[in-house]
Chains A and B, each alone.
Chain A
């Protein structure tokens, strides 16, 4: 069975601090996809990144970076120099490549609060 665990329920930081959101997953598939979504207070779900399991290169997009470690089944998300607008609930998710993507299994979410 597939499972995604986000052990940090809530994180609170002060603006400009760096923060890392942890994501650990379980799957028997050898090939799979990992995702991060952001849910701001307005409630919509915003896609941030998709990572294929056969591509272990870390990725950076502006202040966001993702560290994929297949050996530890982790896909952690770091926000550098956090801003108040980063306050949101962040979800990590997993899907099997055998479904050609889709049918995502989500973690419980981490609520990030960035205070000015």
Chain B
């Protein structure tokens, strides 16, 4: 089983619908992230959380919200989806350097979202 699991893997929805992407991890990391990948733009950070009580906006948080339900779970919501939110979404985890990890991100397999 994957250490970082995203559901759903693929989703097609309509403009205006509410969508939730879920992420769970078994790596025991405190830090979790949501990134969005668009062709030619690389990966851009949407939200991140360094522990259960910590939520921070990334560079492109408008139109998104998150919930950190537990150390192992971090969900991303699109309250009212629009077509330019069509993208590949990645959840990631990391351990802080010097504690439980070396700072690199461990990614889920991605969730491809299409908004019509």
Interface residues of chain A, those whose CB is within 8 Å of chain B, are: 4, 6, 9, 33, 35, 43-45, 47, 50, 91, 95, 97, 100-109
- Within 8 Å CB of B107, what residues of A? 44-45
Q: Give Cα A108–Cα B39 distance, bound, in whole angstroms.
A: 8
Q: Give the dominant DSSP class at A's interface.
A: loop
Interface residues of chain B, those whose CB is within 8 Å of chain A, are: 31, 33, 35, 40-45, 48, 50, 58, 88, 90, 94, 96-99, 101-107, 109-110
Most chain B C-beta atoms within 10 Å of own C-beta, residue among A6, A35, A102: A102
Q: Give Cα A113–Cα B41 distance, bound, in whole angstroms.
A: 19
- Within 8 Å CB of A47, what residues of B? 104-106
Question: Which of A9, A35, A44, A50 touches B110 (beta carbons < 8 Å)?
Answer: A44
- Within 8 Å CB of B45, what residues of A? 103-105
